[in-house]
Structure 1
Amino acid sequence: MKIAFDGKRFFNNSSGLGNYSRDLVRIMATYFPDNQYFILNNKKSERAKEIVELENVSFLETSKGKLSRQFKMGKDAQNADCDIFHGLSGELPLKWNEKPIKKIVTIHDLIFLRYPEYYSFFDRKIHFWKFKKATAQADLIISISEQTKADIIKFLKVPESKIRVVYQGCHHSFKETQSQDFLNSVQEKYKLPEKFILNVGTIEERKNLLNIVKAIQNTEIPLVVVGKKKEKYFKKVERFITKNKMRNQVFFLENVSMEELAAIYKLAEFFVYPSVFEGFGIPVIEALFSGTAVITSNMSSLPEAGGNDSLYINPNNFEDLKSKISFLWNNESERKRRVEKGLIYAQKFSDENIANELMKVYKETISIS
């Protein structure tokens, strides 16, 4: 089987959709090496060089021209005799030729429809048009969670029979054992407190960092935050920290490598992720694989990611969050119990399981007449 992937996010995004794209190609190439995998883009970067250089993975440069991703990429995949084209980030090319090829698109979330206040009018219109067009073209649609599947049915009016749920995994760094020396070196490099709680993700309103900061106010619990800053919301958080004299309690990190991030998860007492809404919630999976207990929201897909033994809160109630943080901070045995159960649950998102589920979808797509 020859499978083509839209490589824009694979090469250009350092997190989020980029991680999904790279992990998907890596695990498929590893567990189903007899297939040929083509990553299409207008240029190749050094990112994920180790994946592109696998024997069964090839970079395919798209034809030159304006809007080549929309108008040339699909035809290039057809001309390479690919059996399937998989759009990894909610889009498919607009133009195709007469050669047969099956089409799959992954939809990650429809947050722009559920929470339109977080997006500009123009972005909402463009996203809706692209997603609606892609789901209409696709032979099958991959949803990354049951929550997103329900949203696709509700907002895009797609029949349930056309959607398959295949969960995401996470980068292999979070599944590896790291030496104590490496953990110590990361703690020293970033001047991390001896004990701390952790939050990972873009610092934006939907991720709800401010409620964590409010929840640890008037405590001695340090918070480490890893993620890119959206300036408007970050300034709001920063003003609260400054006003309440918490600068020595909240630590912000950026540009952390995957290996270092995995170490920071392991060093944390537990992970706190009170996001208002997520298509899935990869940081929760990263924490579970790292052996770190989780507090997260009881909304959207997050209970799917966290399983029965994560601790759940109302993300809009910082008093609820405060009590749960205090409970876990003061109960080492409870943290350990949740870590052990969480590691078992996380195997649901192992590379092998995800590869097998994806292969089922590819085979089903090929069989559609």
Structure 2
Amino acid sequence: MRIGFDAKRLFQNATGLGNYSRTLVANLHKYHPEHDIHLYAPKLVKNERTLPFFNKEYKPFSPSGIAKLGWRSMGVVKALKNDGIELYHGLSHELPIGIKNSGLKTVVTIHDLLYKYFPEDFPLFDRLIYDNKFRFACEHSDKIIAISNATKQDIMEHYKVPEDKIQVIYQTVSPEFSREISDFDAEEVIRKYALPSEYILNVGSIIRRKNLEIVIVAMAMMQPKDRMPLVIVGTGGTYATIIDQLVEKHKLKDWIIRITGPKLEELNILYRKSHFSVYPSLMEGFGLPVLESIMTQTPVITTRRSSLIEAGGDIAHYINGENAEELSVKMMELTYKAKQIGDPKNIKKHLDRFDAKKLTEQLNDLYLANA
């Protein structure tokens, strides 16, 4: 089948939607090389993450000059028809407006509706744009992929989409997180980031919804002898400033290490060398850092919220996302335990739900059924 993908995020986003797009497309090619894959993006960014997709097997395409203006919403449809695309997959919440009367078969992935629940994390103009784009995509796609059951329920509630139009296909984890690390590589990363021998890890954007402040407050409740340093991997704006002020208020500056933009292989090492990770998000479309923790054999504390229970299964440790004292007790409990994640059989059973080949087969079946 000749399949077209909206590849803007694939080429332009380093994390999040970019990782989802790159992993999905790479897995489809790996397990179903019979498909003819075309990648459409307003800009083709070449870096270590995107380099494999410049291969002729993926057929990347970007317009030039003035044609770029509005191309992703309208002009791309002409390119799809010229290339004989049989099915188009919008990988990040939207479909081009021109798809409406084109006759092309379409699939769209909806990751989350977080802007409806945490408006403070999104400017008003962005929320209005998202609502229009998401609603259009849900109405005009032939099939919707939700990356979790929690997201599926939100789509049904907010956009009144019939349940049989939505299929849950979980997000897969980059194969990098399955790779065992060498002592040499680990020492290189520890030296590069000046890491202590033991630390706690937090991975994610520094925004209100990710709830990093509860970790800072929980650490402040602990005696210095009971604490481990906290390594924060992520960036943020206004909320990051609030976190900095909170760290200053509780005199925890010497306990915090900030890292931005690590390579995937470095992130794998950061997980594996941490004593445990903490991800107290108040809501997620999926919650990839929870699954990354489990895949790297790292104990993880998260919240009993939305899709995080799906990502963490029976393996993660759960807290109330608004109870710093509960988090403090759980952090201290794991601090004094040897690093252990649980029964290997249970872990394998949980990770099998997110097996790349199984999820790609679900995706391929959906394509074939809707082409």
Contact 2:42 2:68 in 1 (8 A): no
Counterpart residue type for residue 52 of structure 2: I
Change in CA separation of 1:97 and 1:156 when aligned onto 2, cut-off 3 Å: closer
Deviation of 1:338 after TM superposition, in Å, equals 5.9
Residue aligned with 2:330, SS: helix
**Kept in 2: contact 1:307–1:342 (CA 8 A):** no
1:160 to 2:163 alignment = yes
How has the CA–CA distance of structure 1 residues 115 and 258 changed in structure 2, closer, same or farther, with 3 Å as cutoff?
same
Q: Is 1:364 matched with 2:369?
A: yes
Cα contact 1:270–1:292 (8 A) shared by 2? yes
Deviations 1:327-350 (A, max 9, x none): 1111227x3426774354123212
- Distance in 2, matches of 1:101 and 1:57, equals 20
| TM-score normalized by the length of structure 1 | 0.94
| C-alpha spacing 1:135/1:336, structure 2 compared with 1 (3 Å) | closer
CA distance in 2, matches of 1:97, 1:221: 54
Instruction: Out of 267-276 and 320-329, give the one that drifted further.
Output: 320-329
2:104 to 101, 106, 113: 101
Question: Which residue matches 1:330?
Answer: 336
Cα distance in 2 for residues equivalent to 1:355 and 1:24: 8
Deviation at 1:49, TM superposition (A): 4.1
Distance 2:217 2:343 in 1: 25
Q: Does 1:290 align with 2:288?
A: no
1:215 to 197, 201, 218: 218
Q: Quick check: 191-200 or 337-346, which moved more?
A: 337-346
Shift in Å, 1:302: 0.1
Q: Is 1:268 the counterpart of 2:274 in the alignment?
A: yes
Q: Corresponding residue for 1:18?
A: 18
What is the match of residue 235 of structure 1? 241
Structure 1 283/339 Cα, relative in aligned 2: closer, same or farther at 3 Å?
A: farther
- Say whether residues 1:353 and 2:358 are aligned partners: yes
> What secondary structure is seen at the aligned counterpart in 1 of 2:151?
helix
Give the whole-Å Cα distance in 1 for the aligned partners of 2:271 and 2:236: 19
Distance (Å, rounded) in 2 between the aligned partners of 1:98 and 1:110: 26
Q: Alpha carbons of 1:238 and 1:338: their partners in 2 closer, same or farther (altered >3 Å)? A: farther
Distance 1:69 1:194 in 2: 48
- In 2, Cα distance between equivalents of 1:356 and 1:172: 17
Query: Structure 2 CA distance, aligned partners of 1:336 and 1:7?
Result: 36
Shift of 1:96: 3.8
Residue correspondence of structure 1 range 1-369 to structure 2 within 5 A: 1-47=1-47, 48-54=49-55, 56-62=57-63, 64-96=67-99, 100-217=103-220, 218-219=223-224, 220-230=227-237, 232-332=238-338, 335-337=340-342, 341-366=346-371
Distance 1:98 1:245, change over 3 A: closer
Give the superposed CA RMSD.
Answer: 1.7
Report the CA distance shift for 1:30/1:94 in structure 2 as closer, same or farther (over 3 A): same
8 Å Cα contact 2:93-2:137 kept in structure 1: yes
Per the TM alignment, residue 65 of structure 1 is displaced from its structure 2 partner at its CA by 4.7
> For the residues of structure 2 that align with 1:323 and 1:19, how far apart are their CA atoms?
34
Q: Distance in 2 between matches of 1:295 and 1:337?
A: 13
Deviation at 1:50?
4.0
Contact 2:315 2:341 in 1 (8 A): no
Scaled by the length of structure 2, what TM-score is found?
0.94
Q: How many residues align?
A: 364
1:8 CA drift (Å):
0.8
More deviation, 343-352/16-25: 343-352
SS of aligned partner of 1:337: coil
Question: Conserved in 2, the CA contact under 8 Å of 1:291 and 1:343?
Answer: no
Alpha-carbon distance in 1 for matches of 2:210, 2:268: 20
Residue pair 1:204, 1:229 contacting (<8 A) in 2 also: yes
After TM superposition, give the deviation of residue 190 of structure 1 in Å.
0.5
What amino acid is the match of 2:36?
Q
Instruction: Report how far residue 188 of structure 1 moved.
Output: 1.3
Percent of residue pairs bearing the same amino acid type = 35
User: Once the 2 structures are TM-superposed, how far is the Cα of residue 62 of structure 1 from its aligned partner?
Assistant: 3.9
**What is the CA–CA distance in structure 2 between the aligned matches of 1:3 and 1:284, rounded to whole Å?**
31
Does structure 1 retain, via aligned residues, the 8 Å contact 2:3–2:85? yes
- Structure 1 CA distance for aligned equivalents of residues 151 and 68 of structure 2: 34
Evaluate the alpha carbon distance shift between residue 76 and residue 101 of structure 1 in structure 2; reply closer, same or farther with a 3 A threshold. same
Q: Which runs of 5+ in 1 are unaligned?
A: none
Secondary structure, counterpart of 1:91 in structure 2: coil
